[in-house]
Amino acid sequence: MRDNAKSGALTEVTFFVLLSLYEPKHGYAIMQFIEEKTGGRLVLGAGSLYGAIDSLCKKGWIELYNDSDVRKKEYRITVLGRQIAEQELLRLREVTRIAEDIIGG
């Protein structure tokens, strides 16, 4: 995953995975959430999603919430993950403000 730790910029996929997990979800529900919220602009394959989940778990941004059903492990965002998502929201607001100043809006 190519999140930029120096600038704090997240990939769009990372940001949407974090947003999707403000309520616990299993992998397929995460894919549905992202596709729905982006109007089909972002569609993740299983390999991409589970690679992202693995990476975010290792970073401590999300965690396994419920694995009682081996086929449907649920994940949720951690406190650290919420902080990262909130920082990204602030960064995006700043980018938008600068762009609006330049382009108009």
d(C-alpha 35, C-alpha 44), whole Å:
8
Chunked mean pLDDT (size 10), the chain, 105 residues: 68 97 96 97 94 96 85 93 96 96 88
How high is the pLDDT of residue 7? 65
How high is the pLDDT of residue 104? 86
d(C-alpha 73, C-alpha 31), whole Å:
14
For the chain, report the end-to-end CA distance as a whole number of angstroms.
33
72-95 core/surface letters (b: 16 or more CB in 10 A; e: else): eebbbbbeebeebbeebeeeeeee
How high is the pLDDT of residue 4? 59
d(C-alpha 22, C-alpha 87), whole Å:
15
> For the domain with range 12-103, which CATH number is right: 1.10.1200.10, 3.10.180.10, 1.10.10.10, 1.10.3080.10?
1.10.10.10
